[in-house]
Chain A
């Protein structure tokens, strides 16, 4: 039986009550989501246990887990994590601060937009990972070229989203503010800034995924340490279990960061209809 319920956002939501009768929606979501993953793992384990695929092509889940355990028992992994973590963190922080600041200014001052938009569109259009070799020539093979690549890849979603957030502000609210004699600075602080928060967070969420691509590609182009370099080396030596372990680390990092942004989005969702 399906019933239509109105949640507080006002949108009708279909709620299935049958197999999983009596469970709250939150629990139901978690149970179903976990169930799929569990099934996937069982099938995977079976496929490898039955020898359908040789372990060198597809390691078993238990093999991946033990590879992961092995990795974490050596001290090298910490150096890799630290290196990739630094690239990701510095790159993202730079991308967020530059992207938000530039996006707000470009959105707020139309002339600044006219001035920079063509250049931004040009940069946005080229595949930015292709800038990697150039960055290595310019900045060397160390941390800075990698941070620069992560930054370049991640800054655009933030910048473009933020500026379109400011541009699509509710004109009526701006009129209300002007009616009360608000200065431009006050209008910016009380309307433009809070009004574009959802756009900024959306941009950040995209940026996290892009930044992880940046970290991986940057390390492919040459690196001593890093989870991307680890995956690359393991792959060349057909240590697929370590490749999978590395992928898992990337996935967890991405999920944690995206979850963080989602959590922020939900907090600001309180007033969104």
Chain B
């Protein structure tokens, strides 16, 4: 507990942890063992959102969480981000129990959550300012480069309300990337973007994650998006969410033009089949 409060450089913290603890859990980058998460419902009873989930994420992986709406994907992601306490089980990040949010895990929320009183450029520098890691001018230059990347260079001086939902979501992504997180948590970031932009952003995201050696946990309910992005797709059951199946996607990267290849389509079909049965079957059986 005491260690978790000291802000150590992440690598060093991980090293210290694996020395301190001999348990297998500490060897994984992110480790969830039998994690359950319940919400307090009305009238005192609890509502189980995540039910005994076992999950492992290794450094450098790109994993997609796929599941029917309301199955607890956002809930699980929030727990990894440190916003939501787990009800039971074990949730470790770099060998330490997750206790609170930190800039090493950046979240791209389902809603853009941009500050309405800041222009686009200063929304992107926001994370940098908050973690105090860069000087103002440096941060602005860094942010401009990221805006270029998400295709919004011309809108640096616009305010959020002047952007479409999809554009706001791209700013949201740029803001998370700006802090150069080790673990990027994404919650349906492209849900409100048009199909073409979405595919371009998916390609960019894969490129960025590879170049910056970012590990990514990506929530979606778009099957082909999951297959395109992921090294592994974890499929959740209906609520209370459990991981019913894991599909390893062995498609070579970069995957820029993989979408029409038979292997890709085969994966899409396989995942769709699992998802359909997961959505039908009651998860407790």
Contact = CB atoms under 8 A, between A and B. Distances in A.
A182 B129 CA distance: 8
Contacts of B130: 177, 180-182, 186, 190
13 contacts: A172-B109, A175-B113, A176-B126, A177-B130, A179-B81, A180-B103, A180-B126, A186-B129, A190-B126, A190-B130, A191-B115, A194-B117, A271-B117
Interface string B66-101: 000000000000000101000000000000000001
Nearest to B115: A173
Nearest to A170: B113
A178 interface: yes
B111 interface: yes
Contacts, number: 60
Contacts of B101: 178-179, 181
Interface in B98-144: 101-103, 105-107, 109, 111, 113, 115-118, 126-127, 129-131
Given A172-B109, A175-B83, A181-B103, A271 B126 contact: no
B39 to A, nearest CB: 16
B245 interface: no
Nearest to A174: B113
| The 4 residue pairs across chains A and B that have the minimum distance between CB atoms | A182-B130, A180-B130, A180-B127, A181-B103
A176 to B, nearest CB: 4
B106 A272 contact: no
B59 interface: no
A210 B106 CA distance: 47
A197 B116 CA distance: 12
A178 B102 CA distance: 8
Interface residues on A, range: 20 to 34
A271 B130 CA distance: 21
Interface string A148-172: 0000000000000000000000101
Given A172-B111, A273-B161, A180 B131 contact: yes
| Interface size band for B | 20 to 34
A242 to B, nearest CB: 47
Interface of A: 170, 172-173, 175-182, 186, 190-191, 194-195, 197, 268, 270-273
Interface string B199-211: 0000000000000
Interface string B150-173: 000000000111000000000000
A173 B117 contact: no
A181 B105 CA distance: 10
B113 A173 contact: yes
A25 B111 CA distance: 36
B179 interface: yes
B116 A273 contact: yes
A190 B115 contact: yes
B127 to A, nearest CB: 4
Given A181-B130, A190-B126, A271-B160, A176 B117 contact: no
A268 B118 CA distance: 11
Contacts of A178: 83, 101
Contacts of A273: 116, 161
B109 A270 contact: no
Nearest to B103: A181
A176 B81 CA distance: 11
Contacts of B160: 271
B115 to A, nearest CB: 6
Contacts of A186: 129-130
Contacts of A197: 117
Contact of B116 (A179, A180, A271): A271
Contacts of A176: 107, 109, 113, 126
Given A190-B129, A271-B117, A272-B116, A179 B159 contact: no
Nearest to B119: A271
Contacts of B161: 271-273
A270 B159 contact: yes
B130 to A, nearest CB: 4
